[in-house]
Amino acid sequence: MKTWLDKWEPEDETFWNTGGSTIAWRTLIITTLTLILSFASWFMMSVIAVKLPGLGFNFTKDQLFWLTAIPGLAAGLLRIVHTFILPIFGTRHVVSFATAIKLIPVIGIGFAVMDVNTPFWVFAVLAFTTGFGGGDFSSYMPSTSLFFPKRLKGTALGIQAGIGNFGVSLAQFITPLLLGVGLYGASTVFTSISPKETITVFQNSNVEKQKEVFAGLNVDVQTAILANVKKNVLDSVAASVQSDDKAVLFTSLPVKAKAKAIANANPKLAERILNDISPDHTAVTNKPIYLQSAAFWFVPFLILLSIISWFYLRSIPMKASIKEQMDIFSNKHTWYCTITYIMTFGTFAGLSAAFPLMIKFLYGDFPNAPDPLVYAFYGPFIGSASRVAFGFVADKVGGAILTTITGFGIVIGAIILVTQGLVAPTSMEQFPLFVAVILGMFFFTGIGNAGTFRQYPIIFAENQRQAAGVIGWTAAIAAFGPFIFSKLIGNNLSLNGTVNQFFIGVAIFSILATGINWWFYNRKGCEKPS
């Protein structure tokens, strides 16, 4: 069975109409289906991490954000590898192997979540292996770029990237549905705490009983619980009672502050505390779930598509060593394109990873707090859909104007988030606008992702091998988006409980990227109109 095609000339109408088109579209269909699973497995930790505390995993807020950040770090590094392997190994070998190797994270995570004693470092390693899925993009997309003629590149790349991006929504949509389905293994009890009912517990219980229960906790546990209280509130209470005894400090807090501190603790710990204070409360809900199903469902699809890829894909005869491919870095436009794609795809991927935990930690303390997984999949779904739709538009009007529009959209969204207090909320009334603005930003990232991938083959039209390499490289760097977003957002929340500073930074960077795109690729008389 041959791996390499004898020739590939998609710009030749005769060649294209007598078999080339069939091979190209067949390749696009198979690689797009595998790319859906790539994105889904890459982002699976973003939804699984939200549920870990409720199962009894005693991970801190920072550790949970690390679990959503590590896949982005891994994907960025692995995409750099993928950028250079396509001309060496070819489409058939790369796609078949890349699909099969994702069995490692999905099986590993499935077993890890079944044991509450699984240490954090194991989850960190498994989170890194989910980057296998994130890495694929930087070889799959250059492959598609090579298979299609110039007039169809925007459409083909838009279809593959957009539909592939639906994998993010798939992971975030299907997880809540599968939590009640036992594909393998026993169920685990998931505990959730109602902030509203927790307030009622403290309003109706004896202060001496609260002090007795809190004093019986380990000192480290007491410290962790008090860390959930705003520093200015804790300092004010300490000055008032003139004591550094943690039990005294806790019981002297306002009722809402005490309730918030307990509700933000590990749910299993919070349940024990609330039961000791008031056994007849209704603040705790327990239900059996199968979190492992959110990982195990991938297995049969990965096996099937790796087999299909091996038997039905072929590779274009365009070989080049890694050294030869390094010539893209001497071209200034490689670096300008990298900046614009960080703005578009980096923002899409970063928001996709951080959105569920942002909902949990920004709005989870309010009465009637939202379930992050109810809303999480909408953003990636909208961003993916707009990428598909505007791939066709990019072929008609050019990609540069779409990238410029995206920059304006992201900047306006970031400004609204900060100026309206949506990422430093004071009530649930702000939540609908918060979700609307984030979804709007997702929509614009989809437009920009379609625009940029229409631009790059035109900017590097004199060398299609370079164009494919730049697509892979820019995608690699932008894949660090989940790492950057998750870590910086997590750090912001830990330091001051808001995400204002982060989104100010997003606005500033987007202004820079939009300016570069407009100057070099969009304005009248620009250097590389695209």
Residue 501's CB: how many other CB atoms inside 10 A?
15
Query: In the predicted model, is pLDDT for residue 139 greater than 90?
Result: no
The predicted model gives 443-467 an average pLDDT of 84
Name the band, by pLDDT with cuts 50, 70 and 90, for residue 301.
very high
In angstroms, the CA 527 to CA 228 distance is 53
- What pLDDT score does 411 carry? 96
- Looking at residue 319, its pLDDT comes to 62
What is the DSSP code (8-state) at residue 315?
Answer: B
pLDDT at 323: 67
Q: Please indicate whether residue 326 or residue 15 has the higher confidence score (pLDDT).
A: 15
pLDDT per residue as tens digits for the range 317-368: 766 666 666 777 888 999 999 999 999 989 988 888 788 878 888 888 777 7
Q: What is the pLDDT of residues 27-58, one digit of tens each?
A: 999 999 999 999 899 888 888 888 888 888 88
Whether residue 240 has pLDDT greater than 90: no
Give the mean pLDDT of 80-103.
88
Least confident range from 287-291, 442-446, 489-493: namely 489-493
pLDDT above 80 for 430: yes
Residue-level pLDDT at 308: 96
What are the residues facing 289 on neighbouring strands?
188
Going along the chain from its start, the domains and CATH numbers come out as 1-187+290-319 (1.20.1250.20), 189-288 (no CATH), 322-529 (1.20.1250.20)
Which among 318, 464, 309 has a CA at the least distance from the CA of 4?
318
Contact 512, 339 (CB under 8 A): yes
pTM of the model as a whole: 0.76
Note whether 336 and 516 are within 8 A (CB): yes
Taking the CA atoms of residue 248, residue 249, residue 253 and residue 259 in that order, the dihedral angle to the nearest 10 degrees is: -90
Contact present, 17 and 146 (Cβ < 8 Å): no
- Chain centre to alpha carbon of residue 262: 29
Distance CA 112, CA 296 (A): 11
Q: How far apart are CA 179 and CA 176, in angstroms?
A: 5
Half-sphere exposure of 200 (CA within 13 A, CB side): 12
285, β-bridge pairs: 192
For residue 519, the model assigns a pLDDT of: 95
Kind and range of the H or E run holding 296 = helix 293-296
Mean pLDDT across the stretch 355-383? 82
